[in-house]
Structure 1
Amino acid sequence: MTATTFDKPAVEDRTSSSSPPPLRLQLAPPGTAPALIDGAWWPRSRDLTVELPALAAVLDPLWGRITNVTVNPTFWPVIPRKVPVQGHVVKVGWFEAEQDPHKLLLLSYTAGRWDLLVIPPETDDVTAARLMTAAADPARSLTASGLIQEAELFRIAADAESAAWDSARETVWDSEGGHDARRTSSRRPAGATDDRVAIPTAGM
């Protein structure tokens, strides 16, 4: 197995409108003991006809020709029976109860079976990076769905921490007279004098 990341195109690739977008893929290091997940793939859509050819084309020289792919139909609206890939055809199948909905299973003539975590296309960059690192970690032990759930917990915790930090800053600002200072400054500009004249009381 080869550690591979295809998410950093050269400058000319990013600026050329005719160049395909880089493949977002990270695989476990070579020599890693068999595990539940062999890496992570972050497709840009849920269209297998569009996404699979680029993935299989990259994996063919690494793992041997990919011949079959299976998915869980939960997150794939259309599952083609076959997808053409640079000189050959990949057969596509599906399993519902038997296959993790966040996993892509690939079969090769020469290397056997491989399993990739499928990161949802709409995932934010930070969460996707965390998932890719976790899926390629030699010490990993979670399933594909387990990795997704773990990343979601991280995201929720980070959002809560950010909200708590904002609230704490607001509290400190208030305790230092932030709101009072704003109200005072809005009533009387700095350097302004009091021009009011005292009105004498009756009997003076």
Structure 2
Amino acid sequence: MTTALQPPLPSHPVLRLRLAAHSGMPRPIDGAWWPRSYDLLTELPKLLAGLPRKWGHITSVTVNGATWSEVPGRMLVSNQPVQLHRSLATSAAHTIVLLAPGRGRWDLLVVPPDTTAEEAEPLMEAAAADHV
């Protein structure tokens, strides 16, 4: 009898992020992020670490203040300061805005953490699709 070894579980859960292909044309949404919780202090460093290097250093992040738990004025991410802003606009309830000076602005759809995989997958796919 042989025993199949299970691969070890990753020490860090895989970042659930889908980004649209860069086309040079402005887009209303640049992709989707599916965090595991509404704890911004835990989730944001993981998101920023998983972004493409060409986006540069994100210095400012705006989230919906009614959606996320605690949102301090700023935090250190990889020893770099990041300004955090709260928006109460209902039009941006499920988005996060990332700014990198001299590089650009990216708006990501935030899929609620309690969304099932069956519900999240089409949302993430649509946010990253070319026809958005």
Instruction: Give, in angstroms, the shift of residue 43 of structure 1.
Output: 0.2
Q: Which runs of 4+ in 1 moved over 3 A?
A: none
Q: Is the 1:48–1:80 contact (alpha carbons within 8 Å) kept by the matching residues of 2? A: no
Q: Deviations over 1:96-144 (max 9, x none)?
A: 137511010110023121100000000000111101100001111xxxx
How many residues matched?
127
The structure with the largest alpha-carbon Rg is: 1
Where structure 2 has 5 or more consecutive residues not aligned to the other structure, the ranges are 1-5
The 1:32–1:124 alpha-carbon spacing in structure 2 relative to 1, beyond 3 Å, is: farther
The structure with the largest strand share of the pair is 2
Pick the structure with more helix per residue: 1
Residue 65 of structure 2 aligns to which amino acid in structure 1?
A: P
Aligned to 1:41: 33
2:40 counterpart of 1:30: no
Q: Which has the higher contact order (CA 8 A, sep 6+)?
A: 2
Is residue 99 of structure 2 the alignment partner of residue 107 of structure 1? yes
Measure the CA separation in 1 of the matches of 2:32 and 2:96: 9
| 1:140-181: CA deviation from partner (whole Å, max 9, x where unpaired) | 1xxxxxxxxxxxxxxxxxxxxxxxxxxxxxxxxxxxxxxxxx
The alignment's TM-score, normalised by the length of structure 1, stands at 0.58
Q: Percent identity?
A: 45
2:63 pairs with one of 54, 64, 71: 71
2:9 paired residue among 7, 11, 15: 15
**CA separation of 1:30 and 1:62: change in aligned 2, threshold 3 A:** same
Considering only aligned residues, what root-mean-square deviation do their CA atoms show, in Å? 1.8
